Structure 1
Amino acid sequence: MTIGTLPASAAPLDEWSSVAETFEPTDFHAAPYLGNGHLGTVLPPSGGGYFDYGPGVHTSFPLEQSRYTGTYLAGFYARQPGSWNNTQVIAALPAWSGFALDVAGHTYRPDVDPATVRNYRQTMDFRSATVTTELTWSPDADHDVELRYDTFVSRSRPDLAVARLTLTPGCSGELAVTDSLDTTAARRVTPIARETDPVDGRSTVGVRADGTADTAFLVSTLDAPDDSRRVPVEEGLRLNTDVAAGQSYSFTKYVGIAATPDGPDPRELATSASEQGHENGFEQLHAEHVAEWDRLWKPSIEIPGRADYRRWIHTALYSVLASVRAGQRWSVQPAGLSSDDYGGLTYWDAETWIYPTLLALYPDLARTIVDFRAAALDQAKANARAYGLPGALYPWDDGPAQRCASPAVCGLVEEHLQNEIALAHWQYYLATGDEQWLRTAGAPVIMAIADYLTARIGPKLPDGRYHYAPVGGADEYVATSIDNALTNGGVMHTMRTASEAAATVGAPVDPRWADIAAHMAMPGDIAPGVPAEYLGYTGAPIKQADTVLLSYPFDYATQGYSPEATMRYYFDRTDPDGPNMSNAVGAILSSGLDPCRTQGFLDASVVPYAQEPYGLHSEARGERSGANAVGGSARVFVTGAAEFLQGLLYGPTGLRWTEAGPRLDPLLPTGFPDGMTVRGLAVRDSRLTVRIERRSTTVSLTAGDAVAVDTPVGPKTVTAQAPVQLPTRSC
C-alpha cells in the first residue's frame, strides 16, 4: 500500500471543487451529484435534464437496470413485486433540471453531439453544493451560443431546487428555451397530472408511486426575459425569444418538489415552495443555501501538506452530508439520494459504515439513523411475531416500511444487523448522554432486539453453550453458516448492552441476557488467537470485513483471542475487488495494533475509489463489487465515503465511545508529517478540537461544558482554560 496521490492527468488540485474540462455525455462518472438530505439529483454533463446511459451500463443489485441521471425524494417509495424482498423500492421522479435550447432547427440537450461543444467546463463546487456548466455550442457553421448553467438543490429549503441558464448568442435572431419536466426520467411511478400555465410561467407534473397511494408533485415557476413569448408544449413551457448578438439572457426555474411523506397535500407544498422561491429570487436563495452549507462545514478534518487528502475529505463529506438531513425520520442508503443503486433500501451500511462518522461530527444527523429504527420498532416487532418469536426483527433490506417479506430476506440473512442496530443506539447514548432519548427510543429498541435474539438462539445445548444456526454472516461469499463469529460475538455485546440500558432507565433486566453473554459459543481458532469465521471455515477468501469487526466496532475480548493476529489473518484474505467496506476498519484496528500499517490502510480506503473527474467514491475498484456481485457497482457510494472518513476520525485519534467518556489514544500516521486536526468533535453538548502532532496531541474545548476523556495516561478533564496534552504514538 502506498500513499495516495492524484493521477498525473488530473486537473490542478482545488480542495473545494472538481472540474471536468472534456464533454463526455456517455460517461456516467462525469455526472455530478446534488443533494440536501431530502432531495437528491444527478445532473448530466450537458448541465441539466435527463440522460439514460443505455443497457450497457447497469445499476447495482437488485434492480440491475440501465443507469440514468435520476431524482429521488427521501421516503418516497414504490411497492414493487419484482423487488428483492417484494416490498419497497425507491421511486425516481421526473427530471426537473432540463432547459432545452433550439437554434436554427438544432436542439441542445443532454445527448447533444460532442463535436458541436467546445470551451467546455463543468465545476462541482462542494463548499457551496453548486454545479456550474459552461460551454460554447456551435450547432452549425453559422451559429454559436455561449451557455452557462448554475444549479443547486437548496439546503435551506428542502423542497426547492433551482436552475439558471444564461446564454449569449453569437448572432441575432430568434431562439427558444424550453423549461422541461421530463417524465421519461421517472421510474416505478404512474403519471397523474401535467399542466402548464403560460400566464404565470408555471408547469406542474404529478406522479403516483406504483403499488401505493403516495403521490409526488414537481412545480416549476419560470423567470425569463420580459419579451419572451410563452407557449405550452408537451414537455413543459417553451419561450420564444428575440436575441441580439453579444447580449446575455437569463432563464431561471424554481422547482418545488414534495411527496406524500412530506404532508397530506404534496401539490400545494410543491406549488408554495416554487412560488416562494420565485418571489425571493436566485441570489437570495443561493446565499441562504451557501450559508447553510457553511454551517455544515464547521466541523472538519484538516491535514496540512496533503492537498490530495483534503480534497478527498471534502468530496467524501459532501456526499455524506448531501444524503442526510436533521429532523428527518429517514435513514441513509448505500448510494444516498444519488441513484437507485441497491434499490434505495436500508442495509447495515447506515449503522456500521455511515453512522459513526456522523456521530463524531454531526450527532443531530446521526440521530436520524437511530430514530428511523426506533420509529419502525412496532413493525420490527410484527416481523418477529410473524416467525412466532418475541422482540424485534429488522429486515436486512427494505425501505421506510421495514417489513420482512420472508425468512430468505430477513430472519436468515445477515442477522448481525440486529447487533449493529443495538450498538448504534447505545453509542448514541454514550456520545450524547441523552437519557430521556435512551428511555423513550434507544433502550426499547436494544431490549426488543435482545428479546428476539434470546428466542432465536434458543436454549443451551449439552456442551453448555448457546449456538446460532443457521445464519448469514457479513461475508457474502458464504450464504449461511453455523456460529458465525461476528454474529455470535455481536450477540454477546447486545446482551450486555441490553442489561446496561435496561438498568439505566429502570426497566426489568432479563437474567437470560447475562447468561447468553457469558455462554455464547464461538467457533474454534483457525490460527493461534484467530477465531474461524464460522464453524467449518477453512481459510477461503472473504468478500469484505467480517470477523475483524469483533474488535471494532465491537469490543470482543476473551482469553486466547488476539485482535492483532485476527486482523492480519483476515485482511490477508479479504478480496481487494470487493466493496469498499474494509480498509478503513483496517486503519482503525492497526492504529492500536500495528501502527505502521495505518497509513497504507487509509490510502487503500480512498485511492482506488475516488473516481475522477469529481472525486466521488465508487463502490469498487472495477465494475463489480466482488466475485459474486450482480449488476454494476454503486457509482456514488456514500458507504465508502463515510467509511474513509470513519477511518480518519477513529484511527489516528483512537476515538471510542465508552461509559467513562470518549477514549482518545492518538497516533500520527506516517503520511501526515505535518500533523492532522479534527475540529468539532461532538461530545454531549460540547465540541472538542484534537490536534495531533509528532510528539504530542492537544485536546481543546471549543464550545460547551468541560468534557471528561479516557486516555492511556488516565482520565482527564478538558476545560476552556485547560486543554489536555497527550503523548502521540508513532510508527
Structure 2
Amino acid sequence: MKYRNLIFTSLFVLAAPAFAATDPSFVLTGASKDFDTYFPSYLANGWFSTMTSVRGTEPNMAYMVAFMDYKKDDISRPATIPAWSEIDYNPGGGWLNSTRVAPHIFTDYAQTLDMHDATLTTSYRFVYANKATDVKVTSFVSQAAQHLAATQLSITPQFDGEVQITFPIRLWTEYAPRLPIGKLTGDQMIASVIASGQTLDNKPIPYSDRTAVWYHGVTHVSGADGDAKNLTLWLDGRAEQGLAMAEAAAIALPKDLAIVDTKLEKSDVKLSLNLTAKVQKGKTYTFTKYIAMSRENRALGLTERGNSSESGDAKVTLDLVMKARSTGFDKLLAAHQSAWHELWKSDILVDGDANVQKAIHSDLYYLLSNTTVGTAWPMGACALTPNYAGHAFWDSDSWVFPALLLLHPERAKPIVDFRHRTMQPARERAKQFDVKGTMYPWESDPETGVDNTPHFAYDVYREIHVNADIAIAQWQYWLASGDKKWLKDSGWPVIREIAEFWKSRVSYDKEHDRYEIHHVTSPDEAYNDVPNDSFTNGAARKALDIAIKAAALVGEKADPAWAEISKKMYIPFDEKNQRHLDFDETVPHDKITWMGSSLSWLSYPNLDLPMSPEVRKNNYDFQLHELKVHGDDPNEMMMVMLAVHAAQLGDAKSAGDWVERNLVGFLKAPFNVRTETVANNAGYILATSAGFIQSFVYGFTGLRIDDQGLHEAYPPTLPAQWKSLTLRNVAFRGKHYDIAVERGADGKAKLTRRAH
C-alpha cells in the first residue's frame, strides 16, 4: 500500500510553469495533407504504450514492457494488450471512428505531439450528415505514475439534439495467420508469407512492410466486467503462455450533461460503457477516460517486487484508476508534465540548424518514452512495438545504453542490469555451444533472457560480438557511475564470465603465434561463417582487457590467459594500403550489402579501436568506396557511424553532411518516426535514434568514457552552419556539467565544461 500511496502523493506536485510559447523544436504537427501518408507514432512511459491515430479517438494497438506471448513453435513476441485509448462519438448520422478520413469531413484539422509535455492533442470540426461538431482530444501516458494514462474528449456540437458516446476497451483477437517462425527455415518462411497473401516487399508509406513477420502476440481475457452506475470497467488477462495483466477504466462526465441512458456492453471483442445524452448547440462537453494498467512481474531486479500494484490483478488496478479519477485530469496532467520537464533538464542543443534540433528532440523523446528506472529490463530494438518481436539485441547495449549513459544514467542502468539478471540462460546457452562462461543470444527475450532468434536467422548465432558488446557496456557503466558495489555485485560477474567465454572460444595459431576467432558472422551480416572478423576480434580483445581491470578493482585474481590472448589477438590488416581488413584476407570481399564494409564500425564509440590517424582516414576512404561499389540501401546505423568517423578525422563538413543525410527519408511524417531504411517501413526503430544521439554526445564533442574519465579523445568539430553544440546537464561520477562546443577567436571549435 505504501508504494501505491506514493504514486498519488506525487500527483499533487504541480508542474513548473510551462513555456509561454513552446519551443518549436519540441513540437511536431500533422495536418490534413498527412492523411494519406500518416505514419503512426506512440505515447509511452517505458511501462506501457498506445499507438497514435489520425482522429485521436480510434482503438489503437497498445503494449506493455516485456509482456510476451509464448505460443508454441513461434518466437516470443509482444502481446498486444486491450486497446485503452478509444472513445467514439455519434452525433446522429454516423460514428466518428467509422467515418472516412477526408479533409471536407475533418475540417480545420491539426494533431500536435508536444514532446516537451509528452501530450498528443488533436482538434478538428467533424462535419457529417448535415451536422457539425468541434472536437478536441488530449491524451498522455503518465511519466509521473507508471500505471496511469488518460484521454480527454471535448465536443462542442453546432446543433441541439441527442448524441451517443462510447468508452470501449477493445479486446483484440489473435493475429492471423500466425506462422511457426520458431522452426521455419528462411525459404519456408517466405513461402508461408506468400501463400498467406502477404509479401515482404518494401511498400509505400504508411503501410508496414514486415507485418507478416513482426505481428503482435495475443492477450487472452479471462474476466471482464463493469459498472454502468459507477462508470468503471475492468478486466483480467494473460499473454499466451505468459504473464498476467490487468486493465481498468474510469469515466468522468460533464456535471451538467443531460444523460438519457447508460449501458454496459460486453462481448468477446469489446467491453464498453455506452451513453446517450442530450446536448445544446455551442456548449462544450468534456469527457475523460482514465486508465490504469498492471502486469505480473516475475523478473528479478525490480525495485518494488512485492507490491500488489505489480500483480496484474483487476481489483487492485480498478482501485488505482478510481483514485486517478478522484485526483482529476488537470492534476494528473500537471504531474506528468512536471516529470517530463525534469527529464528535459538534460538535453542536447544545436544552435544553427532547426531541422537537426527537432530531430534530436524527437529521438530523445522516443528514447525517454521507452525507458524505465529501477528495473532490470533491456531495450527492444523497436521499443514498445511488435517490430523485431520486441527482442533485445546488441542494440540495447551498444546503441541505446551509451546514448542514455551521460544524460540519463538512471535510465541506462536497467539495460546493463538485465544482462546480470539473465546470466543463467546465457550460461546454459554456452553449454549448448560447448564453450565456457556465458554466451548471450543474438535475440534475447526481454523478460526471460532466453534465446528467441527466429529459426530462419539461425546462422546469426555466429554473430558473437554481442558478448563483447555487453562487457563493454558493463564497464562503461562503472566508469561513468563509479559505483564500486555495483561493479562487484553485478558488473564483475557478467564481465568475468564473458572473459571465460572468449578464452574458450579463441583458437591459437602456433605458426603465427597469435589468437584467432573462427566461424563468426560479421556485423556486415551477409558475410557468415568467416574467420577473424576485425570488429569481433577487436571487441573480444577489449572485453578481455576490461576483465583484467575489473578483477583488480574488486580484489579478484585475473586469469593470466586473458592478458595472453589480448596481447596476441589477431586483427586483420592490409600493410600495403595501411588500413584494416573487414575479416581474414582469405575471404573475398565481394558481396552487395547494406553496409558495403564494416570498417567504420571499428571507430564507433563503444569500440573505438586504437589506430593511427592515417589508418583511420584510410579506413574511412575504403568505407566510402565500398558503399558505392558494394553498398545497397544503407540504413541509419551506417549514417551514424560515418558521422562519428568523419568527426574523429576532424572533417566537420562531412560529419555534418552525414547528419543531414540521416534526416532524409528516414523520418516519417508527421511525428519523426524512424524506419530502418528509407524503403523498409518496418516501423519505429529505436536503436538508430540512439545512434543519432551518439553522433552529438561522442562524435562532434570527441568525448569518450574511458580510464581517463570523460575526456576529449578527439578535437571537437562543428559544421560551418552550426554556431554551437551544448550537452546540458551531463552526469558523470555524481557531478553534473554543461559541455559546450563553440568556436574560439581563431575560428576553431573548442570544448568547455561548466560544473553545476
TM-score range normalised by the length of the shorter chain: 0.7 to 0.9
Per-residue CA shift, 1:522-557, capped at 9, x if unaligned? 334296122221221325444247332223321323
Per-residue CA shift, 1:326-363, capped at 9, x if unaligned? 112111112211x2110111111111111111012111
Aligned to 1:303: 350
Alpha carbons 1:690, 1:698 under 8 Å: kept: yes
Q: Choose which of 274, 279, 303 in structure 2 pairs with 1:238.
A: 274
Q: What is the CA–CA distance in structure 2 between the aligned matches of 1:414 and 1:328, rounded to whole Å?
A: 27
Q: What is the CA–CA distance in structure 2 between the aligned matches of 1:326 and 1:472, rounded to whole Å?
A: 34
Alpha carbons 2:462, 2:519 under 8 Å: kept: no
| Equivalent residue letter for 1:78 | D
Q: How does 1:181-200 map to 2 (within 5 A)?
A: 181-184=169-172, 187-200=217-230
Does structure 1 residue 634 correspond to structure 2 residue 648?
no
Shift of 1:584: 1.9
Call closer, same or farther: CA 1:698–1:590 in 2, change over 3 Å: closer
Does structure 1 residue 92 correspond to structure 2 residue 80?
yes
Aligned to 1:334: 381
Does structure 1 residue 649 correspond to structure 2 residue 659?
no
| Equivalent residue letter for 1:687 | H
Q: What is the CA–CA distance in structure 2 between the aligned matches of 1:304 and 1:457, rounded to whole Å?
A: 48
Does structure 1 residue 77 correspond to structure 2 residue 68?
yes
Shift of 1:155: 0.3
Shift of 1:672: 3.8
Per-residue CA shift, 1:361-407, capped at 9, x if unaligned? 11111111101111111221122123333201111112221113689
Does structure 1 residue 359 correspond to structure 2 residue 405?
yes
Alpha carbons 2:650, 2:716 under 8 Å: kept: no
Per-residue CA shift, 1:604-636, capped at 9, x if unaligned? 2333322221223222112x2xxxxxxxx3322
Does structure 1 residue 223 correspond to structure 2 residue 248?
no
Q: What is the CA–CA distance in structure 2 between the aligned matches of 1:700 and 1:242, rounded to whole Å?
A: 62
Say which SS state the counterpart of residue 63 (structure 2) adopts: strand
Q: What is the CA–CA distance in structure 2 between the aligned matches of 1:219 and 1:23, rounded to whole Å?
A: 36
Say which SS state the counterpart of residue 582 (structure 1) adopts: helix
| Equivalent residue letter for 1:79 | Y
Say which SS state the counterpart of residue 476 (structure 1) adopts: coil
Q: Choose which of 41, 45, 57 in structure 2 pairs with 1:32.
A: 41
Q: What is the CA–CA distance in structure 2 between the aligned matches of 1:643 and 1:151, rounded to whole Å?
A: 29
Shift of 1:496: 0.8
| Worse-matched range after superposition: 327-336 or 236-245 | 327-336
| Equivalent residue letter for 1:91 | A
Q: What is the CA–CA distance in structure 2 between the aligned matches of 1:532 and 1:659, rounded to whole Å?
A: 28
Q: How does 1:153-168 map to 2 (within 5 A)?
A: 153-168=141-156
Q: How does 1:319-398 map to 2 (within 5 A)?
A: 319-337=366-384, 339-398=385-444
Q: What is the CA–CA distance in structure 1 between the aligned matches of 2:504 and 2:151, rounded to whole Å?
A: 55
Does structure 1 residue 547 correspond to structure 2 residue 587?
no
Call closer, same or farther: CA 1:560–1:345 in 2, change over 3 Å: same
Call closer, same or farther: CA 1:580–1:433 in 2, change over 3 Å: same
| Equivalent residue letter for 1:45 | V
Alpha carbons 1:13, 1:308 under 8 Å: kept: no
Call closer, same or farther: CA 1:461–1:194 in 2, change over 3 Å: farther
Say which SS state the counterpart of residue 687 (structure 1) adopts: strand
Shift of 1:512: 1.1
Alpha carbons 2:246, 2:312 under 8 Å: kept: no
Q: How does 1:424-573 map to 2 (within 5 A)?
A: 424-525=473-574, 528-535=577-584, 536-544=587-595, 546-552=598-604, 553-557=606-610, 562-573=615-626
Say which SS state the counterpart of residue 211 (structure 1) adopts: coil
Q: What is the CA–CA distance in structure 1 between the aligned matches of 2:65 and 2:99, rounded to whole Å?
A: 28
Shift of 1:698: 5.2
Q: What is the CA–CA distance in structure 2 between the aligned matches of 1:453 and 1:426, rounded to whole Å?
A: 16
Shift of 1:266: 3.2
| Worse-matched range after superposition: 431-440 or 528-537 | 528-537
Say which SS state the counterpart of residue 336 (structure 1) adopts: coil
Structure 1 unmatched runs, 5+: 1-11, 51-68, 625-632, 704-731
| Equivalent residue letter for 2:233 | S
Shift of 1:561: 8.1
| Equivalent residue letter for 1:543 | W
Aligned to 1:65: none
Identity across the alignment (%): 24
Shift of 1:258: 1.1
Q: What is the CA–CA distance in structure 2 between the aligned matches of 1:430 and 1:542, rounded to whole Å?
A: 36
Alpha carbons 1:25, 1:111 under 8 Å: kept: no
Aligned to 2:450: 403
Does structure 1 residue 601 correspond to structure 2 residue 658?
yes
Q: How does 1:635-714 map to 2 (within 5 A)?
A: 635-664=683-712, 665-695=714-744, 697=750, 699-703=752-756
Shift of 1:246: 0.7
| Equivalent residue letter for 1:195 | D
Aligned to 2:330: 283
Q: What is the CA–CA distance in structure 2 between the aligned matches of 1:323 and 1:25, rounded to whole Å?
A: 26
Call closer, same or farther: CA 1:112–1:411 in 2, change over 3 Å: closer
Say which SS state the counterpart of residue 726 (structure 2) adopts: strand
Call closer, same or farther: CA 1:405–1:244 in 2, change over 3 Å: closer
Say which SS state the counterpart of residue 361 (structure 1) adopts: coil
Alpha carbons 1:395, 1:411 under 8 Å: kept: no
Aligned to 1:719: none
Aligned to 1:260: 296
Aligned to 2:669: 612
Shift of 1:485: 1.1
| Worse-matched range after superposition: 421-430 or 196-205 | 196-205
Shift of 1:700: 3.2
Q: What is the CA–CA distance in structure 2 between the aligned matches of 1:378 and 1:289, rounded to whole Å?
A: 37
Alpha carbons 2:396, 2:415 under 8 Å: kept: yes
Q: What is the CA–CA distance in structure 2 between the aligned matches of 1:560 and 1:645, rounded to whole Å?
A: 24
Aligned to 1:577: 633
Q: What is the CA–CA distance in structure 1 between the aligned matches of 2:721 and 2:320, rounded to whole Å?
A: 46
Aligned to 2:470: 421
Shift of 1:476: 2.1
Say which SS state the counterpart of residue 567 (structure 1) adopts: helix
Call closer, same or farther: CA 1:358–1:580 in 2, change over 3 Å: same
Shift of 1:674: 1.7
| Equivalent residue letter for 1:126 | M
Aligned to 1:55: none
Call closer, same or farther: CA 1:616–1:201 in 2, change over 3 Å: same
Alpha carbons 1:35, 1:41 under 8 Å: kept: yes
Q: Choose which of 98, 113, 119 in structure 2 pairs with 1:124.
A: 113
| Equivalent residue letter for 2:667 | A
Call closer, same or farther: CA 1:606–1:507 in 2, change over 3 Å: farther
Q: Choose which of 159, 167, 171 in structure 2 pairs with 1:179.
A: 167
Alpha carbons 2:544, 2:562 under 8 Å: kept: yes
Q: What is the CA–CA distance in structure 1 between the aligned matches of 2:235 and 2:534, rounded to whole Å?
A: 51
| Worse-matched range after superposition: 328-337 or 574-583 | 574-583
Q: What is the CA–CA distance in structure 2 between the aligned matches of 1:485 and 1:238, rounded to whole Å?
A: 63
Q: What is the CA–CA distance in structure 1 between the aligned matches of 2:624 and 2:37, rounded to whole Å?
A: 33
Aligned to 1:140: 129
Aligned to 1:707: none
